[in-house]
Amino acid sequence: MQFERETLLTAYRSMATIRAFEEKVHEVFARGEIPGFAHLYAGEEASGVGICLHLNDADYITSTHRGHGHAIAKGCDVPAMMAELYGKRTGLCLGKGGSMHIADLDKGMMGANGIVGGGPPLACGAAFSARMLNTNGVVVSFLGDGSINEGSTMEAMNMAKVFNLPVIFAIEDNEYAQATATSWSVAGSMTKRAAGFDIPTTMVDGFDFFDVHQAAGAAIDKARNGEGPQLLHIRLYRYYGHFEGDATTYRGKGEMDKVKDTKDCMVRFRADLTSKHVIVESDLEKIDTEITALIEQSVQDARQAESPREADLHTDVYVSY
Amino acid sequence: MSRKSFRQAINEALRDEMRRDPKVFIIGEDIVGGTGAPGEQDAWGGVLGVTKGLVPEFGPERVIDTPISEMAYIGAAAGAAATGTRPVAELMFVDFMGTCFDQVLNQAAKFRYMFGGKVKTPMVIRTMYGAGLSAAAQHSQCLYPIFTHVPGIKVVIPSSPYEAKGLLTQAIRDDDPVIFFEHKFMYDDKGEVPDEPYTIPFGEANLTREGDDVTIVALGRMVKLANEAADQLAQDGIHCTVLDPRTTSPLDEAAILASVRRTGRLLVVDEASPRCNVGTDISALVADKAFDALKGPIRRVSPPHTPVPFSPALEIHYIPSVERIRDTAKSLVEGK
């Protein structure tokens, strides 16, 4: 596939923004600046970006507890995301959602989700809306490997097939469902489960942006053209724990270093861009500099931003007590 | 205006709103009946025929039968509502909420607040509740207290065909998730219902009768029973106010407190099991805000704290009866 230079630079910017965002969150979380929980997407960037590049604002995604990357890939405002993590009034959700509930429906981002398997039924609903409103939209339901063992995912797959809905189930398999090995906890295989519903599966190398992009493009085109739900089984790896503060002692010795040293999706993408495409190091360095400034500014702004006011507690919901 | 059944009133509200707004659709299990089968279409129109006749007018794109997958289709309703349409999902029995509660509790109920007010979730879940048909422990519960407890959900409990049509119309036009409770014993109840569409606002109690001696707050089917008890008490010279909150979230606190201030006595009749039900909530409200007006203890009539029994011989003792309501009110007024 031929790529426009701008498309590749957009992809790089998006992936590098996610990596920088997550590394910064890791740093400031450790300093106690961010309340609550944070689940970081670093290592998985090629997946979210490779998929979302095919989507427009009329297409929706549902996300997971590890949702920062999906949100950035779908075009959510980065400074507003950082402010949300800091629990500030300037946050994307006015500080009422936090890391696990970042959403921007105008961008088609239906929310990070604190419930494993929470998204697939919602994705089916967005697909019903798209059909009813004639938007020609598709819906990507991002899922972790753990969600494949949730009944809601199985129910949604069945329903998506029964109604031939344009839903792409994007399973990001990072080998661990929290601290439990996926290889142990999934009986049979994801492919066979999807096959049970007659949903086609594509195995995807989540370390390779181009593989994700190609596979996602094909699946999304099929769904958009009325061929019904599709499943992507994307194998990748997360660099941080399940949550920030997780010591990840369940990993094998040297396991993560080996992945980082040999498979990292950013390193690979940079190498591919400069060796196989008309992009030079200085193009990427310029983007890196801009991203560093953006993330720094986002943190500075978030730190200084106004906190939600006490009265905000009572808005956006029916209140009687 | 003509006499219509509770069932007809609900069907009319659905039909009128689907005619008015092409974004309204209904989804559930066997709300058509016969989908994919060789026989008759619209075979059921819902397990008790409430949605009968809608698929011929609106087609299977807007009257959608689903697989038996409550988590999937209740969640789909939430997702559809957040993305620009107005689904009315039918959960055949509220007891089945156990199979899909997450999509209501953690998804639909939370979107608007959790996303900073940027998302509307205009979905309705119509669901059947209540004892009286020997449907036994898994098909007879009330469960509205559970939803009343969850911020972000509105809870509607109509007590007559008139209430059913006006409140359901309001529910469909409302931008928050609404759980609409239909008592399975009431579908053939008849009453005057306007032919044209109308709405009844949420959070406004209905004063079904006024009297100075005691305030009876009753919910759903219990409103009718409370009025029958009040008829009998009137013959003994005891005059009751019977107040129907119509919605438990929002709750018309002002109307309840004003009535208790007038009568000085409160009896709450709630068909939900007694621990942490709407009766305890209203009792707490009155104890908190109108204690000085009370001439006697707050009394509650509810079933025993047991699962709903199957045998008619047991169920008749389970459901609050007119006699129990009458006798409790009488002893309260007489200070016994």
pLDDT digits (tens, 9 = 90+) for B210-250: 999 999 999 999 999 999 999 999 999 999 999 999 999 99
Distances, alpha carbon B124 to alpha carbons A282, B116, B118, B156, in Å:
55, 21, 19, 10
Q: Do B115 and A129 touch (CB under 8 A)?
A: no
Q: Sorting pLDDT into bands at 50, 70 and 90, what band is A318?
A: confident
A60 class by beta-carbon count within 10 Å (0-12 exposed, 13-18 middle, 19+ buried): buried
Q: Sorting pLDDT into bands at 50, 70 and 90, what band is A2?
A: confident
The kind and range of the H/E element at B300 are: strand B299-301
pLDDT digits (tens, 9 = 90+) for A30-88: 999 999 999 999 999 999 999 999 999 999 999 999 999 999 999 999 999 999 999 99
A308 touches B at CB < 8 Å: no
Q: Determine the 3-state secondary structure of B296 from DSSP.
A: coil
Max CA pair span of chain A:
63
- Measured in angstroms, the CA of A316 and the nearest CA of chain B are apart by 5
Q: Which residues of A touch B73 (CB under 8 A)?
A: 121, 124, 159
Q: Sorting pLDDT into bands at 50, 70 and 90, what band is A278?
A: confident
Mean pLDDT on B12-35: 97
Q: Is the pLDDT of residue A321 over 90?
A: no
Residue B1 has a pLDDT of: 81
B124-129, strands of its sheet edge to edge: B63-65, B24-28, B86-93, B124-129, B178-183, B154-156, B247-249
The predicted complex's ipTM stands at 0.91
CA angle, B229 as apex, B227 and B232 as ends, to 5°?
A: 110
Closest residue to B67, CB basis, from A101, A105, A159: A159
A143 touches B at CB < 8 Å: no
DSSP classification of residue B187: T
Quick one: closest CA in B to A81, which residue?
B115
Q: Which two tokens stand for residue B100?
A: 């899909």
B267 class by beta-carbon count within 10 Å (0-12 exposed, 13-18 middle, 19+ buried): buried
Query: How far is the C-alpha of B138 from the C-alpha of A175, rounded, in Å?
Result: 39
A95 touches B at CB < 8 Å: yes
Count of other CB atoms within 10 angstroms of residue A224: 16
Closest residue to B72, CB basis, from A97, A105, A159: A159
Query: How far is the C-alpha of A190 from the C-alpha of A34, rounded, in Å?
Result: 35
Mutation target vs A (from B71, B96, B106, B282; most A CBs, 10 A cutoff): B71
Mean pLDDT on B184-208: 97
Query: How far is the C-alpha of B259 from the C-alpha of A132, rounded, in Å?
Result: 47
DSSP classification of residue B27: E
Query: How far is the C-alpha of A93 from the C-alpha of B331, rounded, in Å?
Result: 54
Chain centroid to CA B333: 29
Residues 6+ apart with CB under 8 A from A90: A79, A80, A83, A301, A302, A305, A306
Cα radius of gyration (chain A): 19
Q: Determine the 3-state secondary structure of B141 from DSSP.
A: coil
Q: Which amino acid is at B88?
A: V
Mean pLDDT on B70-91: 98
Q: Do A96 and B114 touch (CB under 8 A)?
A: yes
pLDDT digits (tens, 9 = 90+) for A183-200: 999 999 999 999 999 999
Quick one: closest CA in A to B84, which residue?
A129
A158 touches B at CB < 8 Å: yes
Return the closest-CA partner of residue A101 out of B124, B100, B112, B86.
B112
The kind and range of the H/E element at B333 are: helix B322-333
3-state DSSP of chain A:
CCCCHHHHHHHHHHHHHHHHHHHHHHHHHHCCCCCCCCCCCCCCHHHHHHHHCCCCCCCEEECCCCCHHHHHHCCCCHHHHHHHHCCCCCCCCCCCCCHHHCCEHHHCECCCCCCCCCHHHHHHHHHHHHHHCCCCCCEEEEEEHHHHHCHHHHHHHHHHHHCCCCEEEEEEECCEECCEEHHHHCCCCHHHHHHHCCCCEEEEECCCHHHHHHHHHHHHHHHHCCCCCEEEEEECCCCCCCCCCCCCCCCCCCHHHHHHHHHCHHHHHHHHHHHHCCCCHHHHHHHHHHHHHHHHHHHHHHHHCCCCCHHHHHCCCCCCC
Q: Is the pLDDT of residue A27 over 90?
A: yes
The answer to whether residues A146 and A109 touch, using CB atoms and an 8 Å cutoff, is no
Q: Determine the 3-state secondary structure of B301 from DSSP.
A: strand
Residues 6+ apart with CB under 8 A from A16: A45, A266, A284, A287, A288, A291
Residues 6+ apart with CB under 8 A from B299: B266, B267, B268, B328, B329, B332
pLDDT digits (tens, 9 = 90+) for A106-137: 999 999 999 999 999 999 999 999 999 999 99
Say what the alpha-carbon torsion angle A55, A57, A63, A69 is, to the nearest 10 degrees.
70
Q: Determine the 3-state secondary structure of B249 from DSSP.
A: strand
Distances, alpha carbon A36 to alpha carbons A243, A310, B155, B236, in Å:
10, 19, 31, 62
Q: Do A159 and B23 touch (CB under 8 A)?
A: no
Q: Sorting pLDDT into bands at 50, 70 and 90, what band is A320?
A: low
Distances, alpha carbon B10 to alpha carbons A90, B55, B164, B168, in Å:
43, 15, 6, 7
Q: Which two tokens stand for residue A19?
A: 């990596």
Q: What sign does the dihedral A155-A159-A162-A168 (CA atoms) show?
A: negative
Count of other CB atoms within 10 angstroms of residue A253: 7
A307 touches B at CB < 8 Å: no
Q: Is the pLDDT of residue B336 over 90?
A: no
How many CB pairs lie under 8 A apart between chains A and B? 159
Query: How far is the C-alpha of A240 from the C-alpha of B75, rounded, in Å?
Result: 31
A61 touches B at CB < 8 Å: no
Count of other CB atoms within 10 angstroms of residue B199: 16
Q: Sorting pLDDT into bands at 50, 70 and 90, what band is B161?
A: very high
Distances, alpha carbon A231 to alpha carbons A64, A167, A215, A249, B237, in Å:
16, 9, 10, 31, 72
Q: Which amino acid is at B187?
A: Y
Return the closest-CA partner of residue B163 out of B223, B241, B211.
B223
Q: Which two tokens stand for residue B54?
A: 């809608």
Mean pLDDT on B121-135: 97
What is the total residue count of chain A?
Answer: 321
Residue B221 has a pLDDT of: 98
B266-269, strands of its sheet edge to edge: B206-209, B240-244, B214-218, B266-269, B299-301
Distances, alpha carbon A118 to alpha carbons A105, A121, A124, B132, B133, in Å:
17, 7, 11, 35, 35
Residue B305 known to be catalytic? no
The answer to whether residues B11 and B165 touch, using CB atoms and an 8 Å cutoff, is no
Chain centroid to CA B131: 13
**Strand pairing partners for B207?**
B243
